[in-house]
């Protein structure tokens, strides 16, 4: 990540967003603003469960409202390609309680 | 690109809007403002668990209640098949339970038609194109229930 | 502004950020902004077996509004300096 505290350095990169309701959405960052509203293109949701592997749901072009964003992570595609999603088991993340 | 500019650009297009409460609204975006308040037309509201639908001609939603906007531009055919299956299932269910009431959100403004989740509106979703200018509208995304959040078994996403 | 300045002084240090969804992320503090949004580098989730959701994330942006605690390195706390800064802030200058 380069300088600056915003999300400029992540534009056009694949990011992994964790929302306040505990969802994990992965896509290309196309834009953002001061309020952390986010434009995600070619996005999909990764649904974690303890009973089966990670399910990926295709979403498409999305805007996520900033006050629903917890974490924006830069997805390391190299690391990600080595993950076997079908073997990952986990509880869904808890929602954020303010 | 700024999120609010994209939203402005989406005016006139079909979109999916999810509220923080979990309900989803599918409709055509008529207008929006800098607070993300939005006006939708020809709306289908889907309950949080994805198994109840309501139709309303117009709907105005405060921006602060929203969590996610989606265009339905990259949905695959498989999603549409899922949606059709869900609708078939709901139609069967509604034959046995014709006394469902719509949620407060539909009645509050006094404009939502009080339909009992019956076959008529459900068929409307299935045809999709009849009132949506040929593009069609999908039902909301199901988030599943306590059994998990796979969303695939109950909710459908699609476009006509 | 006190906390903003304080966190800016901690840039480069190793911190653990605990979120309001119980997730705890450890990493090097890269930057902070006026909303106390935090950017971390070389991140790892503290309990990765329980939370494998960020296995392929090494750098992340955390929204200030979801931070519950920031665990600081002991050597990053200069109590005298904090006292002075707090008094200065309280006097309005």
Closest in A75, A91, A96 to C66, CB measured: A96
Distance separating the N- and C-terminal Cα atoms of chain B: 28
The predicted pLDDT at position A4 comes to 66
* pLDDT of amino acid A6: 87
Per-residue pLDDT tens for C33-75? 999 999 999 999 999 999 999 999 999 999 999 999 999 999 8
Among 3.40.1080.10, 2.60.40.10, 2.30.30.100, 3.40.50.720, what is the CATH number of C2-91?
A: 2.30.30.100
Contact (CB<8Å) A75/C33: no
> A-chain residues within 8 Å CB-CB of C52?
48, 88, 90
In this prediction, residues C75-90 reach a mean pLDDT of: 92
What's this model's pTM, rounded to 2 decimal places?
0.76
- Long-range CB contact pairs, C36-44, < 8 A, 24+: C36/C3, C36/C4, C36/C7, C36/C64, C36/C67, C37/A5, C37/A36, C37/C61, C37/C62, C37/C63, C37/C64, C38/C7, C38/C62, C38/C64, C38/C67, C38/C70, C39/A1, C39/A5, C40/C15, C41/A1, C43/A73
Decide the pairing of beta strands C38-45 and C57-62.
Answer: antiparallel
- Do residues A70 and C19 lie in contact, with contact meaning Cβ atoms separated by under 8 Å? yes
For chain C, which chains pass the contact test of at least 3 CB pairs under 8 Å? A
Q: pLDDT value at position B95?
A: 54
Which one of A46, A66, A70, A86 would you mutate to disrupt binding with C, by most C Cβ within 10 Å of its Cβ?
A70
Q: Burial code of A41-80, b = ≥16 C-beta within 10 A, e = fewer?
A: bebbbbbbbeeeebbebebbbbbbbbbbbbbbbbbbeeee
| Percent of chain B clearing pLDDT 90 (strictly above) | 39
pLDDT tens for each residue of A67-78 = 999 999 999 999
Q: What is the rounded CA–CA span in Å between residue C31 and residue C62?
A: 11
Indicate yes or no: CB of C59 within 8 angstroms of CB of A1: yes
Which class does domain A8-75 fall in?
A: mainly beta
Is the pLDDT higher at A25 or at B107?
A: A25
Position of tokens 């993300």? B36
Among C56, C62, C66, C68, the strongest candidate for a mutation testing the A interface, having the largest count of A CBs within 10 A, is C56
Quick: pLDDT tens for B34-56: 999 999 999 999 999 999 999 99
Q: How far apart are CA B45 and CA B138, in angstroms?
A: 10
CB contact under 8 A, B1 and A57: no
């Amino acid at each position: 990540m380069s300088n600056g505290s915003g999300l400029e350095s992540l534009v056009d990169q694949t990011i992994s967003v964790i929302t306040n309701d505990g969802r994990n959405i992965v896509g290309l960052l196309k834009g953002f603003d001061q309020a952390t509203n986010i434009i995600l293109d070619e996005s999909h949701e990764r649904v974690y469960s303890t009973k089966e592997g990670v399910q990926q749901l295709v979403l498409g072009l999305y805007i996520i409202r900033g006050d629903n964003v917890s974490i924006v992570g830069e997805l390391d595609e190299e690391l990600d390609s080595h993950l076997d999603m079908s073997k990952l088991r986990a509880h869904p993340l808890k929602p954020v309680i303010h | 690109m700024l999120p609010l500019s994209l939203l402005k650009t989406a005016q006139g297009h079909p979109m999916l809007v999810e509220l923080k409460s979990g309900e989803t609204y599918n409709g055509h975006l008529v207008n929006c403002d800098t607070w993300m308040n939005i006006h939708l037309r020809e709306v289908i509201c889907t309950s949080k668990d994805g198994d109840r639908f309501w139709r309303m001609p117009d709907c105005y939603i405060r921006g602060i209640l929203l969590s996610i906007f989606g265009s339905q531009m990259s949905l695959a055919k498989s999603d549409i098949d899922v949606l059709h299956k869900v609708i078939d299932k709901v139609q069967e269910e509604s034959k046995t339970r014709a006394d469902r009431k719509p949620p407060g959100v539909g009645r509050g403004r006094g404009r939502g038609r009080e339909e009992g989740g019956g076959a008529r509106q459900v068929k409307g979703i299935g045809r999709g194109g009849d009132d949506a200018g040929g593009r069609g509208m999908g039902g909301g995304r199901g988030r599943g229930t306590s059994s998990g959040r796979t969303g695939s078994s109950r909710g459908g996403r699609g476009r006509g | 502004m006190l906390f903003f300045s304080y966190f800016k002084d901690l840039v480069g240090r190793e911190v653990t950020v605990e979120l309001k969804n119980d997730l705890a992320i450890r990493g090097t503090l890269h930057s902070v902004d006026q909303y106390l949004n935090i950017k971390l580098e070389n991140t790892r989730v503290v309990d990765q077996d329980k939370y494998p959701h960020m296995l392929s994330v090494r750098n992340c942006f955390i929204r200030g509004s979801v931070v519950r605690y920031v665990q600081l390195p002991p050597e990053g706390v200069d109590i005298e300096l904090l006292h002075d800064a707090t008094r200065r802030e309280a006097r309005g200058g």
